[in-house]
C-alpha cells in the first residue's frame, strides 16, 4: 500500500494519533516582556467585525492583532542579527516543515531549579541511550513549563533579578547549532532561551547561535509528555508572512500507537 494511503488509514483508525502541541491563542496567551528600552509585542486580541448582526446578518468574524512571536510560534533565522540575510518565515523550505522529533525530558531538574540549563553532556548522555539527534529534525526540550502557561506570572516567573525559566547553556546552544544535524529546537517556555539569557555572553545564545546557523525555533509547546522519546513526526507550518521574522503556528505531532 502507498505511504500516503497508509497514513490516511492510520490517522482515521487511530493507529497514528494526532497530538496537538499548540497552546490556545487568546488575550490570555502569555507574552515575552523585555525590559526598557526594548520594544515588546502587543497582546493577542480579536476585534469583532460582525456577529450575526447589522454589520453582517448571517456571519461572525474578527480581525486579529498579535505579535509574530506570540503563543506557540516559529522563529525564522532572520529574527536574529546573526542571520540578518537569512530566511524569513516565508522562505523556509516546505520539506523541512514535516520532520522527525525527539524529546529530551528535564522536567524533574527544572522543577527543582527554575534556572536549569541543558548542557552538552546532558545531550551526549541522551544520545548514548537513545541514538543520534535526528538529521533535519527537531530537538524537543521538555521542562514541564507548559503546566504554567495558563498563568502569565508563573510562566514568566520573574523577580527583581528578571525572569527565571529553564533553558540551554551558551556552550550547549553553540554546540547544537554547529555540531548537530537538527533543524531546530522546540521548547515549552515563552522563548527558546532561558529566562536569565539576557545576561549570558552572548545574550540569548539559542537565538544567536541556532538562528545564526540557519536553524529554527519552536516555542510554547505543550503535550510533549505525550510523545515518545524518539519516533514522532512533527508538522510545524508557519504562515508564509513575506519578510516575517516568525509566526504563530499550529504544531501537530504524529505518533504511531
Ligand X SMILES: Nc1ccccc1C(=O)C(=O)O
Q: Among ligand X, a second copy, none, what binds residue 191 when CB lies within 5 to 8 Å by partner kind?
A: ligand X
Strands 73-75 and 216-218: antiparallel
- Contact status, residue 244 vs residue 65, Cβ threshold 8 Å: no
The b/e string for 211-240 (b: 16+ C-beta within 10 A; e otherwise) is bbbbbbbbbbbbebeebeeeebbbbbebee
- Crossing angle, helix 170-179 and helix 120-130, to 10 degrees? 50
CA distance 253 to 257: 12
Nearer to ligand X (CB atom), residue 52 or residue 59: 59
- Residue 73 a catalytic site member: no
**Among residue numbers 60 through 89, which ones bind a second copy (CB under 8 A)?**
60-69, 78-82, 84
Q: Among a second copy, ligand X, none, what binds residue 98 when CB lies within 5 to 8 Å by partner kind?
A: a second copy
233 binds a second copy (CB under 8 A): yes
Q: Closest separation between CB of residue 36 and a second copy, Å? A: 11
54 binds a second copy (CB under 8 A): yes
Of 69, 73, 79, 122, catalytic: 79
Rg of the chain over Cα atoms, rounded to whole angstroms, equals 19
Among the listed residues 149, 208, 214, 227, the single contact to a second copy using CB under 8 A: 208
CA distance 233 to 145: 22
**Among residue numbers 103 through 162, which ones bind a second copy (CB under 8 A)?**
136
**Nine cell digits for residue 119:** 548542557
Nearer to ligand X (CB atom), residue 126 or residue 215: 215
**Among residue numbers 4 through 43, which ones bind a second copy (CB under 8 A)?**
4-8, 10-12, 15-16, 18-20, 22-26, 34, 37-42
Q: What are the catalytic residues? A: 79
Amino acid at each position: 500500500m502507498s505511504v500516503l494511503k497508509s497514513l490516511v488509514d492510520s490517522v482515521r483508525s487511530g493507529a497514528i494519533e494526532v497530538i496537538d502541541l499548540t497552546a490556545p491563542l487568546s488575550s490570555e496567551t502569555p507574552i515575552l516582556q523585555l525590559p526598557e528600552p526594548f520594544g515588546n509585542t502587543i497582546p493577542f486580541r480579536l476585534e469583532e467585525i460582525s456577529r450575526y448582526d447589522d454589520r453582517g446578518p448571517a456571519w461572525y468574524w474578527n480581525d486579529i492583532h498579535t505579535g509574530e512571536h506570540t503563543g506557540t510560534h516559529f522563529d525564522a533565522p532572520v529574527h536574529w542579527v546573526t542571520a540578518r540575510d537569512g530566511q524569513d518565515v516565508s522562505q523556509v523550505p516546505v520539506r523541512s516543515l514535516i520532520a522527525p522529533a525527539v524529546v529530551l525530558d528535564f522536567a524533574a531538574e527544572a522543577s527543582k531549579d527554575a534556572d536549569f540549563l541543558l548542557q552538552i553532556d546532558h545531550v551526549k548522555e541522551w544520545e548514548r541511550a537513545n541514538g543520534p539527534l535526528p538529521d533535519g529534525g527537531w530537538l524537543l526540550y521538555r521542562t514541564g513549563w507548559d503546566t504554567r502557561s495558563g498563568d502569565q506570572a508563573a510562566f514568566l516567573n520573574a523577580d527583581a533579578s528578571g525572569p527565571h525559566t529553564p533553558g540551554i547553556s551558551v556552550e550547549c546552544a553553540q554546540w547544537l547549532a554547529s555540531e548537530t544535524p537538527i533543524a531546530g529546537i522546540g521548547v515549552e517556555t515563552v522563548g527558546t532561551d532561558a529566562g536569565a539569557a539576557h545576561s549570558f555572553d552572548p545574550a540569548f545564545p539559542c537565538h544567536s547561535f541556532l538562528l545564526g546557523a540557519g536553524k529554527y525555533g519552536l516555542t510554547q509547546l505543550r503535550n510533549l509528555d505525550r510523545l515518545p522519546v524518539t519516533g514522532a513526526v512533527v508538522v510545524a507550518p508557519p504562515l508564509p508572512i513575506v519578510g516575517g521574522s516568525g509566526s504563530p503556528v499550529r504544531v501537530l505531532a504524529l505518533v504511531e500507537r
